[in-house]
Amino acid sequence: MTDTLEIEGHRIGPGEKCYLIAELSANHDRDLDQALALVDIAADAGWDCVKFQTYNEDSLTVPSRHPSMRIDPVWGTDNLYDLYKTAGMPMEFHEPLFRRARERGLLPFTSVYDPRDLDFVETLGCAIYKIASFEMTFDDLLIAVAGTGKPIILSTGMANLVEIRDALGLLSHAYQTDASQPQTTDFAGCLDASILQDRVSLLHCTTEYPCPLEAVNLRAMDTLAETFGLAVGYSDHTEGIAVSLAAAARGASVLEKHLTLDRSMPGPDHAASIEPTELVALVSGVRSIEQALGSAVKQPAEVERKNAAIARKSLRATSAIATGGAFTEQNIGAKRPGNGISPMHYWSLLGRTSTRDYAIDDLLDERSATDQGDPVA
């Protein structure tokens, strides 16, 4: 087993190309033509897949004006139920969006928020599921999604390692058994990375929209990988593309970013999304970074070998040296090119005797210095 998933020919994990997920979130604005346009933009930009969200207001929350339902009006409303009523993607959008994505060479999939929606999504041929950060502690949902046998991308915003371990333990248990009636509540003790390595990828995430830079903590990706031994990526809610590029440079196996037609559009997710030109720039940047990351083996690159003889230095006479004279700090030094004795031998030459005459700037000859008869190595 390796920490690599394979989904419809796409391999996701260390050493593979970063898997790029374009997230529509609520940026469809309940307009199918707008949603289809976003799918086309993601395809034109060279992304790997497009992700939707499957929920409605009644599956997520309750109609209430209780103070606990109040939210920041920056979301476009001050009530949680009203937010999801306007942000949810109509169920009838799913089929044409899944179809358009596949026609454009993208892998379509969705985040599910209620087990009751799985039967519907399964009819679409969804090859992988996302568990959003909000739902990571919703055991019934995790059990139901694992019950499909499909791989899962698990986002970890708002979570600590204990909560993540519990969720992964539950998934380990659910993938192996009929977990609809689990026989244990010690799910952390069920965690088995060998069960999950080709089924689950973790996304580091900070659940704030937009996310301030000081809250990003990209080093947590390393902690997740070291702790759980799974493919790890990043779900980016920051403004712009700089943090996404940094995540790719840190080795993110998956990168998720929200896209929009225009960040200034009204709606809950537009401000934390990137526009089409940025979507293109991010793909280009990530693919360039992947080329630059290399193999981690420290050795001369083939393209630089030709420069060594030119750019490095060789030991030369800095003044005339007669046969039988000693090499001293005053009469030998180093200059380019590097077609002679390396300056690394400077100290071993000092005090040795020259076996030939040298004019100023002559290359030192490794056969022309002795120390009790020993030539320079």
Tens digits of residue pLDDT in 79-127: 999 999 999 999 999 999 999 999 999 999 999 999 999 999 999 999 9
Distance CA 63, CA 44 (A): 40
| Residue corresponding to tokens 């033509």 | 33
User: Higher pLDDT residue, 185 or 22?
Assistant: 22
β 314-317/332-335 pair status:
antiparallel
Distance CA 97, CA 191 (A): 36
CB 24 within 8 A of CB 38: yes
Strand partners, 358: 321
| pLDDT single digits (tens) 230-273 | 999 999 999 999 999 999 999 999 999 999 999 999 988 998 99
Contacts of 345 (CB under 8 A, 6+ apart): 315, 376, 377
Q: Where in the chain is the domain with CATH 3.90.1210.10?
A: 302-370
Q: Where in the chain is the domain with CATH 3.20.20.70?
A: 10-293
CB 211 within 8 A of CB 182: no
Distance CA 356, CA 372 (A): 15
Is the pTM here over 0.95, yes or no? no
| Residue corresponding to tokens 């790029």 | 20
The CATH code belonging to domain 302-370 is 3.90.1210.10
Average pLDDT, rounded, for the chain: 92
Q: Examine the pLDDT at 182 and tell me if it is beyond 60.
A: no
Mean pLDDT across 370-377: 50
Q: Examine the pLDDT at 377 and tell me if it is beyond 50.
A: no
End-to-end Cα spacing for the chain: 49
- Residues belonging to the chain: 377
The CATH code belonging to domain 10-293 is 3.20.20.70
Q: What is the pLDDT of residue 375?
A: 45
Q: Phi then psi for 291, rounded to 5 degrees? A: -65, -40
Q: Examine the pLDDT at 186 and tell me if it is beyond 90.
A: no
Which of 43, 125, 55 is CA-nearest to residue 84?
55
Instruction: Give the CA angle between residues 42, 25, 122 to the nearest 5°.
Output: 85
